[in-house]
Amino acid sequence: MRSFATSLAFVAGAYAQSKASADVNTGITFQAYSDTAGSGFSFGAAVPTTIGSDFIGQIVAPNNGSGYAGVALTPLMANSLLVIAWANGKDVVGSTYTASGYTSPTHYSNASVLIEPIAKGTFTNGTHLSYTFLCKGCVQGGITSFSSSAKDITMGFAMSSTTPTNPTSVESAGFTFHNIGFGNFGLTLAGSADYPKWASMATAVSASPISVPASDLTCSTRNVTATVSNSTYDYIIAGAGPAGIIVAQRMAESGKSVLLLEGGKASTFAQGGRSTVSWNDTVTQYDVPSMAYYLSTASDTSEYCTDTASQAGCILGGSTMVNALMFVRPQAADFNDKWPTGWKWDDVAASAAKLYERNPGTTLASRDGQRYDQGAFTAMSSFLKTMGWSQVDAIESPNEKTNVYSFPAWDIQKGLRAGPVTSYLPLAQAASNFKLTLNTKVLRAIRNGSAITGVETQDSTGARQIINVNAGGKVILAAGTMSTPRILINSGIGPKAQIDIVSASCTGIKLPAEADYINLPVGENLRDHPVFTLTFNITDNSNASTSMVASQFTNPSTTDIDLFAKASGPLAQSGQRLNFWTSLNGTSGTRFFQGTVNSPSAGLVRAKIYLTHGSTSSGSLGVTSTGSTKFITEPLMNTDEDKAAVVQFLDSMINSAKNSSVLSLASPTTGSKLVSSFTSGSHFIGTAMMGASNDGKSVVDTDTKVFGTDNLFVVDGSIHPDLPTGNTQAIIMVAAEHAAAKILALGSGSGSLSNGTSTATNSPSVPVKIGSASASVSAAQATSAVPAAPTPAKGDDACA
Alpha-carbon gap, residue 341 to 344, rounded angstroms: 6
Alpha-carbon gap, residue 215 to 193, rounded angstroms: 42
The tally of CA atoms less than 13 A away on the side-chain side of residue 162 is: 15
3-state secondary structure of 425: helix
3-state secondary structure of 402: coil
Which residues does 307 contact at the CB level (< 8 Å), separation at least 6? Answer: 104, 174, 483, 486, 626, 627, 628, 629
Burial 727-753 (b: 16+ CB within 10 A, else e): bbbbbbbbbbbbbbebbbeeebbeebb
One-letter amino acid at 490 equals: N
Distance of CA 738 to the CA centre of its chain: 24
Are 610 and 595 spatial neighbours (Cβ–Cβ below 8 Å)? Answer: yes
Distance of CA 444 to the CA centre of its chain: 23
Are 773 and 563 spatial neighbours (Cβ–Cβ below 8 Å)? Answer: no
One-letter amino acid at 126 equals: G
Are 41 and 32 spatial neighbours (Cβ–Cβ below 8 Å)? Answer: no
Residues in the chain: 800
Are 11 and 33 spatial neighbours (Cβ–Cβ below 8 Å)? Answer: no
Active site residue ranges = 683
Alpha-carbon gap, residue 169 to 203, rounded angstroms: 18
Alpha-carbon gap, residue 445 to 729, rounded angstroms: 26
Alpha-carbon gap, residue 776 to 596, rounded angstroms: 33
Q: What DSSP string runs through 468-490?
A: EEEEEEEEEE-S-TTTHHHHHHH
Alpha-carbon gap, residue 75 to 98, rounded angstroms: 13
β 434-437/258-261 pair status: parallel
Alpha-carbon gap, residue 443 to 457, rounded angstroms: 5
Packing angle of the helix pair 640-658, 375-386 (nearest 10 deg) = 100
One-letter amino acid at 664 equals: S
Alpha-carbon gap, residue 577 to 590, rounded angstroms: 27
Alpha-carbon gap, residue 729 to 724, rounded angstroms: 10
Q: In the beta sheet, which residues pair with residue 81?
A: 98
Packing angle of the helix pair 729-745, 242-253 (nearest 10 deg) = 30
